Structures are given as structure tokens and as C-alpha cells.
Structure 1
Amino acid sequence: MRHDPMKGRSVTGRVLAVLESFSADRTHLSLSDISRRTGLPLATAHRLVGELAAWGALERDDQGRYRVGLRLWEVAALAPRGLGLRELALPFLEDLYEATHENVQLAVLDGAEVVYVERISGRHAVGVLSRVGGRWPAHATGVGLVLLAHAPTEVQESFLTSPLAAFTRKTIVDPARLRRVLAEVRRTGVAVSDGQVTLDAVSVAAPVRGPAGQVVAALSIVVRAGTIEPPTLVPAVLTAARGISRAIKQAS
């Protein structure tokens, strides 16, 4: 008899495991793929996938593989830190993009990672690895440095005592250095991430504040390394971030 590593988990836990089996690099999965990635018996995976497909959380393509369905996207779009923030921020993001034709991003902090809620990218802008709904470790990105710098002390300390992943030779992996960088971000009001995710990209980011002045998101512009000096981008990024902050305050 096949061992079921999911034994003891609730039905909800098993359903979530099915959904978590999909990722940015695995958007289409067969039933066997889902069974293997979740550890669920094939019969259990078949039943759960069928129920999710009937509800619209999953869709079946012509080849019999499954993908995330639009119904799940509709529900996810109701998240207040995503949809409402995005709607208020989008005009300012568009203005910043029109002024620069560079990558413009908006993100929020979730644990030790940033989640991107919007991104505008130009045809000739430097390639970036972020995507709407995607996650990235906070210490390596401009938006992440801003959000981490203004996070509660306990969140910072938990992050600083955890291993820091390196993506390039420029990624900050030394906790003492990261602590100094976060202090500088708080002092200057902006963060610069130079070649930490990919060596050809530089990010300049600023905080977006809520009605009480708390940092609720971060805005960044990402340009090709060596084409623009980061300090020249600071005024435009700060102006856009402050505009979003005012819009949030007025809407509250």
C-alpha cells in the first residue's frame, strides 16, 4: 500500500497542497504531476482536482493538463492589500512609466518576502525576474529593503538571524551589512539595490505610507545598470510614492 505523506492533514490542507503544486515555472500540470508534487494518492488528487475544476479554481486544457482558473484569480483580486492599493497607485505608476519608460513596480511585504501587486514594463527596459503575484526575498530588492527597513523590530530581527540567499556576487548576505543598509534606508527615505538580483539591473525604491504614516507598500523603478545614475531617479520615485500615499490617505 502506498504511504500517504498527507495522512492526518485536513481536507482544506490537501486542497491547498493541490493549489501550491502550481508555480511560475510549472503553470500546467497533469493529474500525475499534481499527485507526485503533493504526495497525494492519485485517486485523492483526482477527486480534489475535479472539485476545484468544477468550482473554477482550476481549468483543464486540450491536452488534459490543469492550470489555475480565473475563478481563483477573481477571489485573489479581492485582497485589500492588492486590488485597492493597485487601483489607487496605478495612475502614479503610469505617470512614472511614461516619464521614464523603465520598469515600475509596486510591492508589499509578506513575512520575509515581497509580493509584487503591480508592474509596468517597457519593451526596451532591462529584463526583470519579478511578476505580478510573484515573490522575492526582501533583502535582495529595492522594494524589499524599503519594506524591511520600516518593518517592526521583531520582523527585522527574525530576518537578520536567518540565512540570506545570494543571487549574484553583489547580493547582501552579511547580516551586519544588511543592518547598516536598513538604517541608511530609514535615514535617506530611499533604497538602492544594485545588481543584487541580476547584475544588469539597478532598483531605486521609496516607501508608500498609509493614513497613519505607516509604510504599507514600496514603489520602485528598475533600470539597466550603467545607463542612469541612481540619484537622478530619486526625485521621480519619491514624487510617485508620495502621490500614492496622499491618494491612500484621501481614500481612507
Structure 2
Amino acid sequence: MGQPSNPDAVDQVRSSGIGVVDKSVAILAAAAAAPRTLADLVDATDLPRATAHRLAVALEVHRLLTRDAEGRFLLGPRVGELAAALPDPLVVAAGAVLAWVRDESGESAQLYRRDGNERVCIAAAERTHGLRTTVPVGTRLPLTAGSGAQVICAFSDPATLDGLLDGAAFTDRTLAEVRRRGWAQSIAQREAGVASVSAPVLAADVRLLAAVSVSGPIERLGRSPGSRIGPILVAGARRIASAVGV
């Protein structure tokens, strides 16, 4: 593709020696950074207009690019579909750890990831016998109640929580305490009769990756389950972060 003469060009794309591939990747990289008109693509990639148009349209046919209401190119749905087909490293890392947390605590274990104003269960290890609280993978829960919600809110960027805590079942003071001790607990906060304990899975830069939790009936966990289960979850969260390697 050659070295772009435009200092704003997408010049981080390495040369593979296959020109059409390099040019297509440059277009995808430009569209990933921001929605682009054809003129924007030309400026960002330093490609001739006819080449940029031909490749962008071809990528659109394969749904790797799409267009917004203003006709600008942006990444298409096929990119997400391809990414979704790959194993989630966080889920892979959590599998054995959740089983360990379940066995150590005696309760069902879950892993939650934030998605906007909700948390999504992305992995779980259920008790094999006795009364249990089942949270199927894919379940969406609010960020306004429960120990998992407390952990996610406590370790999220405060700017992303604007207005969210107005209707929460916990307070800023609660979140400060969660940050101090490293785990959260809730008693019938989200669901009557259910207690839970959660801890944050943090990257090396203290960025929140997920919340690891256990949940079960109050009559079995008691009304202060954090003192017993909190350390198990903190250890499990560290194991998951270490296995992910971030």
C-alpha cells in the first residue's frame, strides 16, 4: 500500500504483501475509528477515490461495512458475528474458577459483565443438589440491586453511572464500603429470600472486567454471608484476572 502521505492516514496497518488485503484492512480500520464518508475514507487511507469506493462497496456486500442514515461507512454486523464466534477469554478463564468458588462456598456461582445499565450473566456453576438459586447464562439483571450490581457500580467509572443510582437499593456510602473491603453482600435486596456476595474481577490497571458472585437462600447463607464467602470470591476474582492475563 505504501507509506501514506497524509499524516492523518490509517498508517498503523502493516503490510502483508497482498495489496488488496492491506487496503481493505485500512478501510475497515478507518471505519472502526469513526463513521466515514467516501471522502473521509480517502483521506484516512490515502487510497485513490475509485479504489476506496470499490473496496468499501465490496466490504459492504459482505456486511463487513454498512452505512448509517447519512450514507457514511461504519463497521457492519458481520464483524460482530465473527467476533462472537470466538471463545470469550473471560468465560474460558472463569470456568474452572467458578467451579472452585461453588465447591468452596457450597453455593451457586456466577460471573456478570456490565452491559450499559444492566449486568449480564456470562458464566455460571450451579449446585448439583439441594435448594439453589439458578441464574441462567444470558440473564440480564439491573444495576440497581444485588451484590453484583453493587460491585459493578463501585468499580465503574462514576461518569458512566450518572443518574443510575437515583433509584438504587444502595447508596454511595455502600459503594465506598464495597471499595474499601473488596466485596459486597446483599440480603433480599434484589429477590425476596435470596442472599448474595460478589467481588470485582479487576485488570492490572484496576479496570473492572466483571463481578464474580455466589447466591443462595438466606436460610442457608445467613444474614452476614460476606465475612465467610467474601475472601473466597476475592481469591477467585484474582485467579480469573490472572488467567485472563490483563
TM-score by length of 2: 0.60
- Residue 84 of structure 2 is aligned with which of 71, 78, 82? 78
Counterpart position of 1:42: none
Counterpart position of 1:26: none
* CA drift at 1:236: 1.1
Partner SS state of residue 198, structure 1: coil
**Structure 2: tracts of 5 or more residues without a match:** 1-79
Root-mean-square deviation (CA, aligned residues, Å) is: 2.5
Give 1:1-252 correspondences, 5 Å limit.
75=81, 78=84, 83-124=88-129, 126-128=131-133, 130-161=135-166, 163-164=167-168, 172=169, 177-228=170-221, 229-230=224-225, 231-249=227-245, 252=246
Aligned partner letter, 1:102: E
Aligned partner letter, 2:235: T
Partner SS state of residue 219, structure 2: coil
Separation in 1, partners of 2:176, 2:85: 31
Offset from partner CA, 1:70-94 (integer Å, 9 cap, x none): xxxx9498277x8221001111111
* CA drift at 1:126: 4.3
Offset from partner CA, 1:35-88 (integer Å, 9 cap, x none): xxxxxxxxxxxxxxxxxxxxxxxxxxxxxxxxxxxxxxx9498277x8221001
TM-score by length of 1: 0.59
Counterpart position of 2:20: none
Q: Which moved more, 1:237-246 or 1:226-235?
A: 226-235
Change (3 A) 1:178 1:87: same
Aligned partner letter, 2:84: L
Change (3 A) 1:133 1:160: same
* CA drift at 1:101: 3.4
Partner SS state of residue 154, structure 1: helix
Separation in 1, partners of 2:207, 2:162: 19
CA contact (8 A) 1:103 1:223 kept: yes
Separation in 1, partners of 2:96, 2:137: 17
CA contact (8 A) 1:96 1:104 kept: yes
Separation in 2, partners of 1:78, 1:140: 29
Counterpart position of 2:4: none
Separation in 2, partners of 1:86, 1:189: 22
Separation in 2, partners of 1:212, 1:114: 21
Q: Which moved more, 1:207-216 or 1:110-119?
A: 207-216
**Structure 1: tracts of 5 or more residues without a match:** 1-73, 165-171
- Report the structure number with the largest CA radius of gyration: 2
Question: What is the number of residues matched between the two proteins?
Answer: 165
Offset from partner CA, 1:85-107 (integer Å, 9 cap, x none): 10011111111122233110000
Q: Which moved more, 1:91-100 or 1:122-131?
A: 122-131
